[in-house]
A and B are shown apart, each in its own frame.
Chain A
Amino acid sequence: MSNKLATLKFEQLKEIKWRELIIGVSMPMIGLLVFLALWHSVAPNIKTSLGEFPQPKQVFAQWGNLVDEYQSEQDRATQFYERQEKRNAELLAKDPAAKVDTREFSGRPTFFDKIKTSLITVLSGFLVATIIAIPIGIMIGLSQTLYSAINPLIQLFKPVSPLAWLPLVTIVVSAVYVSDSPAFSKSYIISLFTVSLCSLWPTMINTAVGVAGVSKDLINVSRVLRLGWFTHVVKIVLPSAIPMMFTGLRISLGIAWMVLIAAEMLSQNPGLGKFVWDEFQNGSSESLSRICLAILVIGLIGFLLDRAILMLQTYVNWDKSAVVR
């Protein structure tokens, strides 16, 4: 009897599991399909100066074109290096003391090079923002006095649009960053700092709130043990502030990625922002499809960056059972 009950329960559980799985997989698929269907049916009705608005299939076809472009650039690069090597070898064969020079291949950056540039720029900008924001956040979280001093500045600069910062950053970087053989291009530095300036605020504020919100009991423990400042921060303050800190970091990275596209458009940093801008200026029949594709890629990368931060949080957080979403 009880055995029968148990099997019944097991069967039911299995069924519930299945149902959950089906819902978990099918619902997002249905959502996606409905979106694509709407897009497919509405697009031909939008007539633009560059022709009809592209349908999904045209947009996805561009993916193939971009991969082909990448392939041909790769081939050109290989050929270039082969030619160069051959030429140098011939020169050396004629005269062993001949001066040979090796040059870098300077082809057009392809879509995938641009994704790479964008990722590098956003991550370095985000890193600079984090390095500035977390220590300041900890300081103002620990000291009410410092908080009162710095909070007005945060509130003042937090809402400023990246487009407002950019001219200023451009002019300052152009004036300060002067070098004959710059290690980084100016456009990269400009985009980086614009991203940092816009994305450091959420991390700073959330860190401060997390640090200020450490439980009074734990602070009393620290006082009774008479922990030094450093131990207090490392052992008590930081672990309790981690969830808030990561909330800030996630918002910051989201902002950084959004700001980056705008910054790249204006500073001409060869990333996805410039890709979109160039296609806009180019105005060929393929441009709209390519812009649409870029938008999808930008969205997908933004999503993956957010997931990456979540994974980092799960890794860093002491509470492995905490639900992160």
Chain B
Amino acid sequence: MSQIHLELTKVGIEFPTPKGPFCALRDVDLKIKKGEFVSLIGHSGCGKSTVLNIVAGLYQATTGGVVLNGREVNEPGPERAVVFQNHSLLPWLTAYENVELGVKRVFKGKKTKAEMRDWIEHNLELVHMTHAMHKRPDEISGGMKQRVGIARALAMEPQVLLMDEPFGALDALTRAHLQDSLMEIQNELGNTVIMITHDVDEAVLLSDRIVMMTNGPAATVGEILEVTLPRPRNRLELADNAGYNGYRSAVLRFLHEKQKKVEPIAAKRADKHREQDTPAQAKSVA
């Protein structure tokens, strides 16, 4: 359990823009153990998704690199399955067929047709979607779509599960429900998970570690918070737990004091007058 599984070393990325290269990330270092649940939290536009996309192989790091099980990551692959923010199911396929697409790709030649069918159904069962297996995405609710998205990712038996704000577009009740499902599944399968979130409660509830990112440009890892709450965790019991609230306020303090995004408007105006041409500076790493 304790060996380093996924390692990001000095990861930086620059995007070309008409005004010259824009440095989105700089020197992101992160070591993740097998079976660990890590959340990335930070303000919008701080490059959380970029980190995830680099690990997924959808983007290429300009500097540094990602190593998974001793091998460098330089292209996307099913061993790093992604759960996309807007589910990204193929609208012309049913829930079953959407999961099947990945399963066929990964287990071709390794599983028989019947085994594949069992496996697909098993994964849809994990996310409690067996009842709507043969419905198309436009026939099911947002939460259900996201469940299918998770089933699709899990069914590929990924070494790392990458989740890009998986519950961001859902209402609070559905979100809580899916968080519980996710904890249950992770407890059972022991996947390594990297999840991006905006939600402080979600981060504390689900994670073993919370990686807090500084604001961009040239964003990087600000602080890392180890969450040692015992598992299985229960949201109701944790609500009054002093430890839980301590973690919460630590994350909140980071986001709203150290990495304050929104300045009071009056101060901003004054600032603008003072340093008209100086571009916004990246805040220093805490």
Which A residues contact B (CB, under 8 angstroms)?
Answer: 217-218, 220-221, 223-227, 231, 235-236, 239-240, 318-319, 321
* Residues from chain B with Cβ under 8 Å of A223 in the complex: 57-58, 75-76
What CA separation (Å) do A217 and B93 show in the bound complex? 15
In addition to A217-B86, A224-B58, A226-B76, 6 A-B residue pairs with Cβ atoms within 8 Å of each other are: A220-B76, A224-B57, A225-B78, A225-B101, A239-B92, A319-B92
B90, A224: Cβ atoms closer than 8 Å: no
Tell whether B154 is near chain A: CB-to-CB under 8 Å: no
Tell whether B254 is near chain A: CB-to-CB under 8 Å: no
Tell whether B56 is near chain A: CB-to-CB under 8 Å: yes
Chain B interface mostly helix, strand, loop or mixed? loop
Tell whether B243 is near chain A: CB-to-CB under 8 Å: no
What CA separation (Å) do A53 and B58 show in the bound complex? 70
A227, B90: Cβ atoms closer than 8 Å: no
Tell whether B102 is near chain A: CB-to-CB under 8 Å: yes
A318, B84: Cβ atoms closer than 8 Å: no
Tell whether B110 is near chain A: CB-to-CB under 8 Å: no
Tell whether B80 is near chain A: CB-to-CB under 8 Å: yes
What CA separation (Å) do A261 and B243 show in the bound complex? 83
Ranked nearest first, the 4 interchain pairs of A and B with the lowest CB-CB distance are A318-B92, A217-B88, A239-B92, A223-B76
How many CB-defined contacts (below 8 Å) exist between A and B? 54
What CA separation (Å) do A318 and B86 show in the bound complex? 20
What CA separation (Å) do A240 and B92 show in the bound complex? 8
What CA separation (Å) do A239 and B76 show in the bound complex? 23
A227, B105: Cβ atoms closer than 8 Å: yes
Minimum CB–CB distance from A235 to chain B (whole Å) comes to 6
By beta carbon, the residue of chain B nearest A221 is B88
Tell whether B168 is near chain A: CB-to-CB under 8 Å: no
User: Could you say which of B77, B80, B90, B156 contacts A239, with CB atoms under 8 Å apart?
Assistant: B90
Residues in B63-91 with C-beta less than 8 Å from chain A: 75-78, 80-82, 84, 86, 88, 90-91
* Residues from chain A with Cβ under 8 Å of B93 in the complex: 235
Residue in A224, A231, A319 whose Cβ sees the most chain B Cβ within 10 Å: A224
A235, B101: Cβ atoms closer than 8 Å: yes
Residues in B2-60 with C-beta less than 8 Å from chain A: 56-58
Question: Provided the pairs A217-B84, A220-B58, A220-B84 are in contact, do residues A225 and B92 lie with their beta carbons within 8 angstroms?
Answer: no
Question: Provided the pairs A221-B90, A239-B90, A319-B92 are in contact, do residues A226 and B84 lie with their beta carbons within 8 angstroms?
Answer: no
What CA separation (Å) do A130 and B136 show in the bound complex? 30
A224, B56: Cβ atoms closer than 8 Å: yes
* Residues from chain B with Cβ under 8 Å of A318 in the complex: 91-92, 136
* Residues from chain B with Cβ under 8 Å of A231 in the complex: 105
User: Could you say which of B80, B88, B90, B138 contacts A220, with CB atoms under 8 Å apart?
Assistant: B88
What CA separation (Å) do A243 and B276 show in the bound complex? 50
Minimum CB–CB distance from A135 to chain B (whole Å) comes to 21
What CA separation (Å) do A240 and B77 show in the bound complex? 23
What CA separation (Å) do A319 and B139 show in the bound complex? 11
Minimum CB–CB distance from B71 to chain A (whole Å) comes to 15
What CA separation (Å) do A236 and B156 show in the bound complex? 18
B77, A226: Cβ atoms closer than 8 Å: yes
A236, B90: Cβ atoms closer than 8 Å: yes
By beta carbon, the residue of chain A nearest B82 is A224
* Residues from chain B with Cβ under 8 Å of A227 in the complex: 101, 105
Minimum CB–CB distance from A3 to chain B (whole Å) comes to 33
User: Could you say which of A217, A224, A236, A240 contacts B76, with CB atoms under 8 Å apart?
Assistant: A224
* Residues from chain A with Cβ under 8 Å of B86 in the complex: 217
B92, A226: Cβ atoms closer than 8 Å: no
Question: Provided the pairs A226-B105, A236-B90, A239-B92 are in contact, do residues A221 and B84 lie with their beta carbons within 8 angstroms?
Answer: yes
A224, B92: Cβ atoms closer than 8 Å: no
* Residues from chain A with Cβ under 8 Å of B90 in the complex: 218, 221, 235-236, 239
By beta carbon, the residue of chain B nearest A217 is B88
* Residues from chain A with Cβ under 8 Å of B82 in the complex: 220-221, 224
Residue in B57, B77, B105 whose Cβ sees the most chain A Cβ within 10 Å: B105
A225, B91: Cβ atoms closer than 8 Å: no
What CA separation (Å) do A231 and B75 show in the bound complex? 18
B78, A224: Cβ atoms closer than 8 Å: yes
By beta carbon, the residue of chain A nearest B104 is A231
- Sample 22 A-B pairs with CB under 8 A, ordered by A number: A217-B84, A217-B86, A217-B88, A218-B88, A220-B76, A220-B82, A220-B84, A221-B82, A221-B84, A223-B58, A223-B75, A224-B57, A224-B78, A225-B78, A226-B77, A226-B78, A227-B105, A235-B90, A236-B90, A240-B92, A319-B91, A319-B138
